[in-house]
Amino acid sequence: MFILQHQDLDVLISALKSRGYRVVGPTLRDDTVVYDDLNSAADLPIGCTDDLERGHYRLRRSESGTYFGTTVGPHSWKKYLFPPRVKLFSIQKRGRVLELEAEDPQQRPEQFAFFGVRPCELAAIALQDKVFMGKNFADRTYTALRRGVFIVAVNCTRSGGTCFCDSMGTGPKAEDGFDLALTEVEADGRHFFVVDVGTPRGTEVMNDVPRTKAGQSDIELARKLVSKAKAGMKRSVTQEGLRQFIAGNLESGYWDEVSRRCLLCANCTLVCPTCFCSTVEDTTDLSGEHAERWRRWDSCFTMEFAKVTGGNFRPSPRARYRQWLTHKFSSWIDQFGVAGCVGCGRCITWCPVGIDITAELEALRGHGARAET
């Protein structure tokens, strides 16, 4: 482990840029922390902290000058690995002949370096890896974008208002899946990062960055801060038996209650770092001789999602809310061996009516218990 002085964080970014990486990470825009290109460490949300609650997000100045004092914003890294709009192919019609030109995902010019990945987000990336690079077919677009991504993770030293990564087993400390993991420490007038190296590639990059070997006391300081984040978590999900419980309560009256509040706005699916539903769009130009097929994000909350000619398999709001929650905490486990939620809390923060899935799961449990008596 190394110690990186805060002023040298910029050197790390430069080291990545000089190796040809396109460095992206948290930055400020419209009073929100979003993911975008980072030119230097100055682009990070320095001195900011955030207040997150159900349906509530505010940034404010903090007393300290931390680089990673915020937690999560509405963006997730799926913005880069699973882009909202991707062209799959185009076709030119010449008479009866159709000439297809497939987009070659390998052609993508940039190699990403994700700078500031939270442990819950590492888990989310791993989940989407399972979806898109699984057994049957690997999605070429995702695979090409994912390969070689350099990950600089950031351990959380404070818990966001809506976080529950601890009970989902995904944080607040990064265990693996990173090249480098930073823990920001501000104490006794000192401001530095404890750097954990995860791969030989990480070691190689660090060779170009001023660093000293981390002493036991500094490592301990970092560990204590992360524990504080863990202890500060206000929400949790009891995972034990949840999968079977949900599967056995698909017709509970609870779903009617929650769907009365849900606006079906799809915000939760848009901000969720693991949601992977998409659709395909076929378009032509005015000449009618050029067609394209695009993949774009979709959401199970939309009316069209389960539509087929002549009907709809899931027309009611009740069924659509149920689909999302049961997929996230139950079906996902059947499909991929692990729950689809990483406890990042975004859906709670960005729900306009403040639906809190941790509370909803408790409500479902309570409803089931009542029904049995």
Partner 1 sequence: MVKSDLTEVLCKHPFVGDLQEQYLKLLVGCAKNVHFHDGGYLCHEGEAADLFFLIRNGRVAIEIHAGHKGKQRIQTIGPGEVLGWSWLIFPYRWHFDGCAVSEVSALALDGKCLRTKCDKDHDFGYEMLKRLANVFQSRMEATRLQLLDVYGSHKGR
Partner 2 sequence: MKHTAVAEADVLVDPMIPQMMSIKKIVWETDDTFTIQLESAAFANAGFSFLPGQFNMLYVFGMGEAAISISSDPAKPATLTHTIHRVGTVTNELSQMKRGDIIGLRGPFGSSWPIEKANGLDVCIVAGGIGLAPLRPVIYSLFRRRRDYGRLLLLYGARSPLDLLYRVELEEWSKLYDVEVLVTVDRSDSTWKGYIGVVPNLLSYIKLDARATVAMVCGPEVMMQYTIAEILRRGIPQDQIYLSMERNMKCAVGFCGHCQYGPKFICKDGPVFALPQISSLFEKKEL
Among 22, 79, 140, 191, binds partner 2 (CB under 8 A): 140
Beta bridge mates, 358:
none
> What is the Cα–Cα distance from 299 to 95, expressed in whole angstroms?
37
Question: Mask of contacts with partner 2, 87-126, x by CB under 8 A?
Answer: -xx-x-x--xxx-x-x------------------------
DSSP string, 152-201: EEE--SS--TT--HHHHT--SS--SS-SEEEEEEEETTEEEEEEEE-SHH
* Binding window for partner 1 (CB under 8 A); candidates: 38-46, 176-184, 272-280, 309-317: 309-317
- The answer to whether 308 and 103 have CB atoms below 8 angstroms apart is no
Q: Does 304 bind partner 1 (CB under 8 A)?
A: no
Considering all CA atoms of the chain, what is the largest pairwise distance in Å, rounded to the nearest integer? 76
CB of 143 to partner 1, least distance (A): 31
CB of 79 to partner 2, least distance (A): 17
Compute φ and ψ for 261, nearest 5 degrees: -95, -30
What is the sign of the dihedral through the CA atoms of 304, 306, 311 and 317? negative
> What is the Cα–Cα distance from 272 to 297, expressed in whole angstroms?
12
Sequence-distant (≥ 6) Cβ neighbours of residue 334 within 8 angstroms = 243
How many chain residues bind partner 2 (CB under 8 A)? Answer: 52
Among 288, 369, 372, 373, binds partner 2 (CB under 8 A): 288
SS3 52: strand
Between 107 and 309, whose beta carbon lies closer to partner 1?
A: 309
- The answer to whether 23 and 113 have CB atoms below 8 angstroms apart is yes
- The answer to whether 181 and 153 have CB atoms below 8 angstroms apart is yes
- The answer to whether 123 and 274 have CB atoms below 8 angstroms apart is no
Q: Which of 233, 238, 232, 234 is nearest to 362 (CA)?
A: 238
CB of 132 to partner 2, least distance (A): 6
How many chain residues bind partner 1 (CB under 8 A)? Answer: 4
Question: Mask of contacts with partner 2, 301-340, x by CB under 8 A?
Answer: ----xxxxxx--xxxx-xx---x--xx--xxx-xx-----
Between 31 and 101, whose beta carbon lies closer to partner 2?
A: 101
CB of 251 to partner 1, least distance (A): 22
Between 101 and 282, whose beta carbon lies closer to partner 1?
A: 282
Between 108 and 307, whose beta carbon lies closer to partner 1?
A: 307
Between 167 and 331, whose beta carbon lies closer to partner 2?
A: 331
> What is the Cα–Cα distance from 357 to 257, expressed in whole angstroms?
13
Among 99, 308, 337, 372, binds partner 1 (CB under 8 A): 308
Contact set with partner 2 (CB under 8 A): 88-89, 91, 93, 96-98, 100, 102, 131-132, 134, 136-137, 139-140, 247, 250-251, 276-280, 282-284, 288, 291, 295, 298, 300, 305-310, 313-316, 318-319, 323, 326-327, 330-332, 334-335
Contact set with partner 1 (CB under 8 A): 308-311
